[in-house]
């Protein structure tokens, strides 16, 4: 059985961290994000097709160096194709029923249970459903008691919402679904393909699950998922190998070979490998990239530093993205703006 993992986006809302690495390789508790997803795939899935575009070579290198016990195919898209286009582009690798999964979601979805639900209902397409409080921010599923989805309502008023369940980004599809997708163009499964399947087959089901669901699309959610996982594992902090820590940590994830000086205080901070933070530094709700250096007596809040950046002593930053190097060729030219609050 195959699983297509969508890992081709630039991750613009996570810049400048994604200027130097693929979004799917951003570390969570010092382990690439995509590895969590592959680790919880059912044993039945023996082939993983990675739909990639940006930083394909980086992703290929990671999977050559790390064995997950499954065949890994890096399927290089000539240009971003959207969810539907990426699925169609992987068609030559599909032999039967298959998953489509987003690489930037950490959740408690049981994929084995989803397969059983799909088979029981003789479904053409089954999608994961997650309950939310604020339905007006999402596309909401119109789902019947047996799980059959008859439509979607985009960002409804609370009183008009057919349910409180949203598309949670995991799909289990029969090969017939591929016939609905036109090759060679950017296509949204959610907006263009799913409505056709609902109308034509009446076999479009939603699989509800409980536990946790985290979409890692912004710096704020990237920090939050670290805190959530640490609390889940009853950890005060997560610290990598060979650290030298003389300061105080709270809700922090620290990479390998990190130095933190005397009297420095870090709260809700992610520090990548080989960073150096001098004495008397205060960091609150920040991400510090690989090989960064922060001078003594600096005070940073809601700030992200890209890899290899250096801040002078006494630097004071609030709600900033620090990147002084060239932006990678081909990366979308968007203003960095309010990185934490986006």
Asked if 306 contacts 20 with a C-beta cutoff of 8 angstroms, the reply is yes
Count of domains for the chain: 2
- Is 0.85 surpassed by the pTM of this model? yes
Q: Are residues 64 and 121 in the same domain?
A: yes
For residue 98, what are the domain limits? 2-215
- Amino acid 334: pLDDT: 56
The bridge status of strand 139-143 relative to strand 149-154 is antiparallel
Q: Does pLDDT of 78 surpass 80? A: no
Q: Are residues 66 and 109 in the same domain?
A: yes
Asked if 295 contacts 280 with a C-beta cutoff of 8 angstroms, the reply is no
Q: Are residues 261 and 301 in the same domain?
A: yes
Report residue 170's pLDDT band, with 50, 70 and 90 as the boundaries.
Answer: very high
* Angstrom distance (rounded) from CA 87 to CA 178: 8
Q: Are residues 128 and 243 in the same domain?
A: no
The C-alpha torsion from 283 through 284 and 286 to 291, rounded to 10°, is 10
Q: Are residues 198 and 305 in the same domain?
A: no
Q: Are residues 112 and 250 in the same domain?
A: no
What's the CATH code of the domain at 135? 3.90.550.10
Q: Are residues 87 and 172 in the same domain?
A: yes
- Amino acid 160: pLDDT: 86
- Amino acid 341: pLDDT: 36
Does residue 224 sit in helix, strand or coil?
Answer: helix
Residue range 192-216, pLDDT digits in tens = 888 999 999 989 999 999 999 998 9
Q: Does pLDDT of 176 surpass 90? A: yes
Q: Are residues 177 and 308 in the same domain?
A: no
Residue 50 lies in a domain: yes
> What's the CA angle centered on 312, arms 311 and 317, to 5 degrees?
60
CA distances from 334 to 6, 8, 16, 245, 326 (A): 22, 18, 11, 36, 14
Q: Does pLDDT of 138 surpass 90? A: no
Report residue 100's pLDDT band, with 50, 70 and 90 as the boundaries.
Answer: very high
Q: Are residues 136 and 246 in the same domain?
A: no
Q: Are residues 104 and 183 in the same domain?
A: yes
What's the CATH code of the domain at 256? 2.160.10.10
Asked if 281 contacts 261 with a C-beta cutoff of 8 angstroms, the reply is yes
Q: Are residues 209 and 286 in the same domain?
A: no
* Angstrom distance (rounded) from CA 239 to CA 253: 6
Q: Are residues 54 and 181 in the same domain?
A: yes
């Amino acid at each position: 059985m195959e699983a297509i993992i969508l890992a081709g986006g630039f991750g613009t809302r996570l810049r400048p961290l994604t200027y130097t690495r693929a979004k799917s390789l951003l570390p969570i508790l010092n382990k690439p994000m995509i590895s969590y997803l592959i680790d919880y795939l059912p044993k039945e899935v023996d082939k993983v097709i990675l739909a990639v575009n940006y930083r394909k070579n980086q992703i290929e290198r990671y999977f050559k160096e790390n064995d997950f016990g499954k065949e890994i195919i890096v399927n290089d898209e000539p240009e971003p194709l959207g969810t539907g286009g990426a699925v169609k582009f992987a068609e030559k690798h599909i032999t039967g029923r298959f998953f489509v999964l987003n690489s930037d979601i950490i959740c408690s979805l049981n994929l084995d249970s989803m397969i059983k639900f799909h088979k029981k209902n003789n479904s053409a397409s089954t999608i994961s459903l997650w309950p939310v409080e604020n339905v007006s921010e999402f596309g909401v599923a119109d789902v019947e008691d047996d799980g059959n989805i008859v439509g979607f309502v985009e960002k409804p008023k609370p009183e008009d919402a057919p349910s409180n369940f949203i598309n949670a980004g995991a799909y289990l599809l029969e090969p017939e679904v591929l016939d609905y997708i036109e090759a060679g163009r950017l296509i949204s499964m959610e907006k263009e393909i799913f409505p056709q399947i609902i109308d034509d087959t009446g076999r479009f089901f939603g699989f509800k699950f409980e536990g946790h669901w985290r979409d890692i699309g912004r710096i704020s959610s990237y920090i939050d998922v670290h805190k959530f996982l640490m609390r889940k594992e009853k950890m005060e902090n997560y610290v990598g190998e060979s650290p030298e820590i003389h300061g105080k940590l709270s809700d922090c994830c620290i990479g390998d070979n990190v130095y933190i000086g005397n009297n420095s205080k870090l709260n809700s901070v992610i520090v990548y490998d080989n960073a150096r933070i001098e004495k008397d530094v205060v960091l609150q709700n920040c991400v510090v990239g690989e090989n960064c250096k922060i001078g003594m007596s600096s005070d940073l809040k809601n700030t992200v530093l890209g890899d290899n950046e250096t801040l002078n002593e006494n630097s004071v930053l609030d709600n900033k993205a620090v990147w002084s190097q060239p932006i990678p060729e081909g990366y979308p030219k968007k203003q960095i703006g309010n990185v934490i609050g986006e």
